[in-house]
Amino acid sequence: QVHLVESGGGLVQAGGSLRLSCTASEPTFRAYAMGWFRQAPGKGREFVSVVTWIGGNTLYADSVKGRFTVSRDNAKNTEYLQMTSLKPEDTAVYYCAAMMDYKDFPDSSRPDVYEYWGQGTQVTVSS
């Protein structure tokens, strides 16, 4: 059983930055793509970004485009989400997820096409 472990969440003031990391527990784990989702209190799980493991192709939600950058380090089996110019509305629990088979947009933004999920890390942006 593969485990995805997120880290890097915390409390930051509006306009600040945070970097989230997500590492797969198995060194040989290879997904087609790794995504980030978030869930605010009382809301559904929202797509944030996705990056393909080969090629590093990326996709972003309109709400984070230009502020967030997703990347991956294949050697470390780790995905990153660099978040800048954070806003209070970015406050949520952030989850990383692994998509094992090819899915093109818009399917790649659907939570149900991701087979593995991390436990989540809280990001709180104060105004």
- Tens digit of each residue's pLDDT (9 = 90 or more) over 54-64: 888 999 999 99
> If you average pLDDT over residues 102-117, what whole number do you get?
92
> If you average pLDDT over residues 72-86, what whole number do you get?
94
Query: Quick one: which of 96, 121, 120, 103 has its CA closest to 24?
Result: 96
Can you give the pLDDT at residue 40?
96
Dist CA 5 CA 22 (whole Å): 5
Label residue 104 by pLDDT band (50, 70, 90): confident
Q: Helix or strand or coil: residue 9?
A: coil
